Structure 1
Amino acid sequence: MKCIALTFDDGPGPYTGKLLDLLRRHRTKVTFFLMGERVATSPSVVRRMARDGHEIGDHTYDHPHLPSLPDDDIRDQLTRTQDVIRKVTGREPGLMRPPYGDTDERVSGIAAELGLSQIVWNGTSRDWELRDTAAITKKVLGLAKRDRVVLMHDIWPQTVKAMPKILTTLEKKGYHVVPVTSLLRGRSLAAGEIYPVGGWN
């Protein structure tokens, strides 16, 4: 099966509800990497994400560069986010995505200690830079490749507006849009492990 994972960082945001409506219509599941402070202010959206069967990961509490922080602050960023997601959804994530994809051995060690695998990406929509629906659509469709992990952001309205055409075109090309762990085809990630290997394109 030809699978691709679309992953959304920095939410939930004002447009996340519209994205969830669209994903439901397409019977499609994705992965959301959520910021703790935004989970705390939009719990109903996060509950809906979980109810709809989307994969939810930890994207720190307020998006710092983790390698620049002392160990205790890295732990605090991750555990506060774990706690608020658990309070809202009843489940604690097993995945985290370091902001900006910035990680190192120290971050990996703390992630492992907390039972978190690290998810990066091997294709980026550059939606934070493009801020244009047609350009984002073209960029994401140009990245389409089996087992690709694509970085997107549901906080930008242009990204959410690009999604109908992206999903329809990927479906026509025979792709199944899946949560990132579905790309592992049954393999479990180790705590602290970084996936995909050789990411950040």
Structure 2
Amino acid sequence: MPSSRLTPCLLLPLLTVLSGCISHPPATSSNALARPASATQDGAIPAPRPGAPIRATSPATVGTPARVASPAPRTDCHKARYIALTFDDGPGPLTAGILDALKAAKAHATFFVMGPRVQAHPAIMRRARELGMEIGNHSWTHADLARMGQAPATRELTRTSNAIRRASGQGPFSVRPPYGSFVQATPHTGLPFVLWDVDTEDWKNHSSAVTTQRALAGAHPGAIILMHDIHPSTARALPGLLKALQGRGYTLVTVPELLGPMSAKKA
């Protein structure tokens, strides 16, 4: 597995919305802001609706804590060739196999998880931690936080953070808001937001070949690649994708290994 002593890539120290190396801005999309997930009973998870990563107009003013520059030596992303694979919407029945593939490839990844699924699969969360994976908060119901009031949004995130802590012994390092959607008033519960800059669209194509092609086409040093550990096609694609990325000289790391320390304490 990648060494825990990896130095983070060189980034602006006051970047508050994190989405890969600053030399590669997030991909833009003409898609409108995704509609919020419909209200459900407590614990129910509506099917996630796809949405493009929506950046705030002025990221520096978003109410997320600024990342503190690391005292460790800085590493140029282009020279280090680090990439962070991220998986949303789990854990689920396929996550164990994804962990197996990552372990076999001596790779790290980051999982942005949903509260009810964490409660249903605590052993998977513990194993992910043991293998050196990182865990982030992806809300409780996959609702659009930008369209929620502060109180319900805070409950979404806090409840999920508590579930992660109970299952794995440690709270999440960050939040990935569903659909990448948030506004200045969106609560962050003391955690920075992490987006992505390569979307495999595995939620839409359900094709191992297409998922692999999109990941490889978008790969660049410092990339944060978005996938989902709830789709069989993604699980099937992963072993070959790992081999292909490593064959291109990439080291597969967690988001904190890529971006470095963040100022917020784990919630």
TM over 0.5: yes
Q: How far has the Cα of 1:94 moved from its partner?
A: 2.3
Residue in structure 2 matching 1:8, options 72, 87, 93: 87
TM-score using structure 2 length: 0.68
Identity among equivalent positions (%) equals 39
Q: Secondary structure at the match of 2:92?
A: coil
More strand by share: 1
Residue in structure 1 matching 2:145, options 59, 62, 66: 66
Distance (Å, rounded) in 1 between the aligned partners of 2:263 and 2:151: 22
Matching of residue 171 in structure 1 with residue 246 in structure 2: yes
Distance (Å, rounded) in 1 between the aligned partners of 2:196 and 2:133: 18
Q: Is contact 1:7–1:30 with CA below 8 Å preserved after alignment?
A: yes
TM-score using structure 1 length: 0.90
Matching of residue 22 in structure 1 with residue 22 in structure 2: no
Distance (Å, rounded) in 1 between the aligned partners of 2:138 and 2:223: 20
Q: Is contact 1:9–1:32 with CA below 8 Å preserved after alignment?
A: yes
1:80-105 per-residue CA deviation (whole Å, 9 max, x = no partner) reads 00111111111111211000000110
Distance (Å, rounded) in 1 between the aligned partners of 2:130 and 2:185: 34
Q: How far has the Cα of 1:131 moved from its partner?
A: 0.4
Counterpart of 2:204? 129
Distance (Å, rounded) in 1 between the aligned partners of 2:235 and 2:224: 18
Counterpart of 1:155? 230
Q: How far has the Cα of 1:189 moved from its partner?
A: 2.8
1:115-164 per-residue CA deviation (whole Å, 9 max, x = no partner) reads 20100001100000110111111111111100011110010000010011
Q: Secondary structure at the match of 1:11?
A: coil
1:10-56 per-residue CA deviation (whole Å, 9 max, x = no partner) reads 00011101001111111111000000010011111111111111000
* Structure 2 residue identity aligned to 1:50: R
Counterpart of 2:42? none
Counterpart of 1:142? 217
Q: Secondary structure at the match of 2:190?
A: coil
Counterpart of 2:38? none
Q: Is contact 1:94–1:116 with CA below 8 Å preserved after alignment?
A: yes
Distance (Å, rounded) in 1 between the aligned partners of 2:143 and 2:253: 28
User: How many positions carry a matched residue from both structures?
Assistant: 186
Residue in structure 2 matching 1:32, options 107, 111, 121: 111
Which aligned segments of 4 or more residues in structure 1 are displaced greater than 4 angstroms?
none
> What root-mean-square deviation, in Å, do the aligned CA atoms of Structure 1 and Structure 2 show?
1.2
Distance (Å, rounded) in 2 between the aligned partners of 1:44 and 1:172: 32
Matching of residue 92 in structure 1 with residue 165 in structure 2: no
More helix by share: 1
Counterpart of 1:52? 131
